[in-house]
């Protein structure tokens, strides 16, 4: 954070800066956080001047606020949404999985994580003819996925590589 100095505003003289330093108001962040009465008592600035200073400094140095919903909608328009093949999961994910994202499935043992992932992999493989399955436990075998794919009509179009 920027250190308070005379260049920040015309009301910040060397004397004002030194008086604020003496009460541990050293940075712009300190100045914005501290109560106005403490600043007026230590700096000799008027209450009105301190309020004006805080507003101007906040406008000049604070982060620009953004509307998260606006950016979320923008991401949705620029991304493809891939259905999981599970209607309730797609509703939860606002339509499906966004391209360019990495999803991690976590849960207790025997809670259905692998079955969920295999179901999504099967749907993706039959829809797009290609799927990457990352298994952090390194216990993946393609037999179950092959069985699931064999129960669909589109198995001839899907190539399996294990």
**Is residue 21 domain-resident?**
yes
**Bridge partner list, 102:** none
Identify the band that residue 90 occupies on the pLDDT scale cut at 50, 70 and 90. very high
**Is residue 50 domain-resident?**
yes
CA nearest neighbour of 75 among 112, 107, 100, 103: 100
Instruction: Give the burial class of 71: count Cβ atoms within 10 A of its Cβ; 0-12 exposed, 13-18 middle, 19 or more buried.
Output: exposed
Q: 25 and 31 in contact (C-beta within 8 Å)?
A: yes
Percent of the chain whose predicted confidence (pLDDT) is above 70: 93
CA distance 104 to 87: 19
Residue that terminates a domain, selected from 37, 61, 85: 61
The residue among 90 and 1 whose pLDDT is bigger is: 90
**Is residue 82 domain-resident?**
no
How many domains is the chain built from? 2
**Is residue 124 domain-resident?**
yes
Q: Provide the residue range defining the domain that includes 41.
A: 14-61
What stretch of H or E contains 97? strand 97-98
**Is residue 133 domain-resident?**
yes
**Is residue 98 domain-resident?**
no
């Amino acid at each position: 954070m920027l250190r308070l100095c005379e260049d920040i505003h015309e009301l910040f003289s060397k004397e004002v800066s030194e008086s604020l330093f003496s009460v541990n108001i050293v940075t712009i962040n300190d100045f914005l956080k501290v109560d106005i009465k403490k600043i007026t008592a230590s700096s000799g600035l008027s209450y009105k001047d301190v309020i004006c200073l805080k507003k101007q400094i906040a406008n000049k140095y604070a982060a620009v606020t953004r509307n998260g919903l606006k950016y979320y909608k923008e991401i949705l328009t620029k991304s493809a949404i891939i259905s999981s093949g599970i209607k309730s999961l797609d509703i939860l994910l606002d339509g499906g999985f966004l391209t360019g994202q990495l999803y991690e499935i976590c849960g207790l043992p025997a809670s259905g994580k692998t079955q969920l992932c295999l179901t999504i992999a099967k749907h993706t493989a039959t829809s797009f003819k290609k799927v990457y399955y990352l298994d952090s436990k390194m216990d993946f075998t393609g037999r179950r996925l092959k069985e699931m794919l064999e129960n669909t009509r589109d198995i001839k179009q899907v190539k399996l590589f294990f």
